Amino acid sequence: MPTPDEAARALRTVARLAEEQGDALDRAFRLFGDGALLGPRAARLHAGLVDRCAEVGQAFNRAFRQVEHLVTAHGEPARVPAPRPRRPPVPLREPPGGFVGGDPDLMQVIDAELAEVAGSWQRAGEALSTTLARLGLDAAPGHNVARAGGWLADQRPDLRRRRAELLKTPPPPRPEPPPSSPFDTVAEAVADAAAGIGATWAGHVAGVASFAGLPAAGELARDYAEHVAVPLVQGVAEAVAGAARFGWEHSIGGLLTDPSGMTDRLHGAYAAGEFAAEHPVEFAKEVAGWETLTEDPARWFGRLLPDLLVGGGVATRTGRIADAAATGPRLPGGSPIPPPRTAADGPPLNTIRMDRRFEGETIWGVQYLDPGSLEATRLVVHEGRLYDVRGRPYSTDGGTSHWAPDDERAIFVMDRYGNLYASTHHEVGVFHHSSFLRGRQVAGAGDLRVRDGVLELISRHSGHYRPDAGDLDRVIDVLRRAGIDFRDVRREDYRDD
């Protein structure tokens, strides 16, 4: 039978242990509120944490009441206030699209907080068990607290694995900035010039080194130019252009010349939030320029330099966030429409020229698409099917005409990067294969017949480009690699072939 002093000391111990178990837990809940974790699995973890939190609270209360009863049984007042009820946990933030994921940095913090809570509960549980057992009381509350700590510790490997997955996922192609932007045109020109100058310089050094009997020095110079100097200059040029574009768009001049632009960008920023919540991996990597960092570190560092020197990091970062979110519609399954492929996505395809008879055809009324209209005609391959850029399965219903009375088809071209553009309305004298890419070279051209996203027929009928069989092979190869199964797709060459 414990003495009254032992009972009173035990009561203070239980109260202290209960009080100590709050701060780390509150911090962990706040991280949930900040969006460290989102989605169904996050909800399960959060719900489990809420349950464990309640169990721990009940365990301490039960332990306190047991000891308090012992104290008052000796005719002494308790003199120790009961553990305060804990603040209700911060609720989990509702993800906008049921996405599973989170913020890698916050996940790291939440992992640390959970580790602290787990350790603390396990230690407190053991201490509580010991205290209760010493008093001859039921030690179950202590076991419950320790078990809750063990449950928390068990969640951490999964949390760390998910964070690692998040950082490993390959990034989507970066959305291409509007090609008409003068800032980007300048950046491209500088990048091209840098590449030319670098190659020339390296060639000169190699020549001199060879003359001096030091061929290794020439190789070093080439390596330096190719892997360090030129990418660095290109990166700086891209970053300066990005910052300049941001500055212009957000200046009075930008507002005057593009009054809707600010609204669009604000919408883009809002969309960025949604995008980040639903696709944190892609979002995080867009912000970090992950692809460039892993593939071309010198170029990435070059982009970073102006950020560091003039504090433009927010500008270029914000631009990338907005770009990443400007994907709008989603494909089945929730993934965003991938942006057009660019030179950064791999070596360009071989191309063919438009028949010279059509040069200057706009004089007859043939229309050439601007970049925005072109984008509206782009098709993407998703899980073996073709979708338009609004995320709808593509169909060539209605693609018939007395001018070209074949079955329902769309005309298409593929550009040098493998982007596919199609329209079901081939309007003679107005809209032809040349309309998509303004008469420029294409990797392939012809007709498509598509039903509910399923490609049924592909041809190389194009009066403007007259593709040969190899050109059609090229298109088919790109589409096959993108996931289209060609076993049931009819291939149509020229009727007289």
CB of 421 to other proteins, least distance (A): 11
Using the minimum distance from each CB to other proteins, give the nearer residue, 116 or 492.
Answer: 492
CB of 425 to other proteins, least distance (A): 6
CB of 170 to other proteins, least distance (A): 31
Cβ-contact 222, 202 below 8 angstroms: yes
State the greatest distance between any 2 C-alpha atoms of the chain, in Å, as a whole number. 110
Using the minimum distance from each CB to other proteins, give the nearer residue, 335 or 401.
Answer: 401
Quote the CA–CA distance of 266 and 250 in Å, as a whole number: 11
Using the minimum distance from each CB to other proteins, give the nearer residue, 353 or 425.
Answer: 425
Q: Which of 132, 81, 109 is nearest to 24 (CA)?
A: 109
Q: Which tokens belong to 120?
A: 């603390």
Quote the CA–CA distance of 414 and 447 in Å, as a whole number: 11
Quote the CA–CA distance of 66 and 79 in Å, as a whole number: 15
What letter represents residue 445's amino acid? A
Would the CA dihedral through 436, 440, 444, 445 be positive or negative? Answer: positive
CB of 392 to other proteins, least distance (A): 11
> Phi, psi at residue 379, to the nearest 5°?
-115, 150
CB of 390 to other proteins, least distance (A): 9
CB of 381 to other proteins, least distance (A): 20
Contacts of 280 (CB under 8 A, 6+ apart): 38, 99, 101, 102, 103, 104, 166
CB of 367 to other proteins, least distance (A): 6
CB of 419 to other proteins, least distance (A): 16
CB of 253 to other proteins, least distance (A): 16
Cβ-contact 312, 306 below 8 angstroms: yes
Cβ-contact 418, 359 below 8 angstroms: no
Residue in this structure with the two tokens 């009997």, named with its chain if needed: 213
Using the minimum distance from each CB to other proteins, give the nearer residue, 71 or 374.
Answer: 374
Using the minimum distance from each CB to other proteins, give the nearer residue, 99 or 431.
Answer: 431
Using the minimum distance from each CB to other proteins, give the nearer residue, 211 or 364.
Answer: 364
Using the minimum distance from each CB to other proteins, give the nearer residue, 165 or 397.
Answer: 397
Q: How far is CA 192 from CA 205, 228, 243, 291, 349, in A?
A: 20, 15, 19, 20, 19
Contact residues for other proteins, defined by CB under 8 A: 180, 260, 355, 357, 360, 362-365, 367, 370, 373, 376-377, 397-398, 400-405, 407-408, 423-425, 427-431, 463, 466, 496
What letter represents residue 271's amino acid? A
CB of 397 to other proteins, least distance (A): 5
**Other C-beta atoms lying within 10 Å of the C-beta of residue 377:** 20
Concatenated DSSP letters of 111-127: HHHHHHHHHHHHHHHHH
Quote the CA–CA distance of 461 and 409 in Å, as a whole number: 11
Using the minimum distance from each CB to other proteins, give the nearer residue, 94 or 496.
Answer: 496
Using the minimum distance from each CB to other proteins, give the nearer residue, 208 or 428.
Answer: 428
DSSP helix/strand/coil, 420: strand
DSSP helix/strand/coil, 379: strand
Using the minimum distance from each CB to other proteins, give the nearer residue, 486 or 494.
Answer: 494
Quote the CA–CA distance of 211 and 206 in Å, as a whole number: 8
Using the minimum distance from each CB to other proteins, give the nearer residue, 144 or 396.
Answer: 396
CB of 348 to other proteins, least distance (A): 24
Q: Which tokens belong to 228?
A: 């360090």
Q: Which of 378, 379, 396 is nearest to 387 (CA)?
A: 379
**Other C-beta atoms lying within 10 Å of the C-beta of residue 16:** 14
CB of 470 to other proteins, least distance (A): 18
Using the minimum distance from each CB to other proteins, give the nearer residue, 249 or 296.
Answer: 249
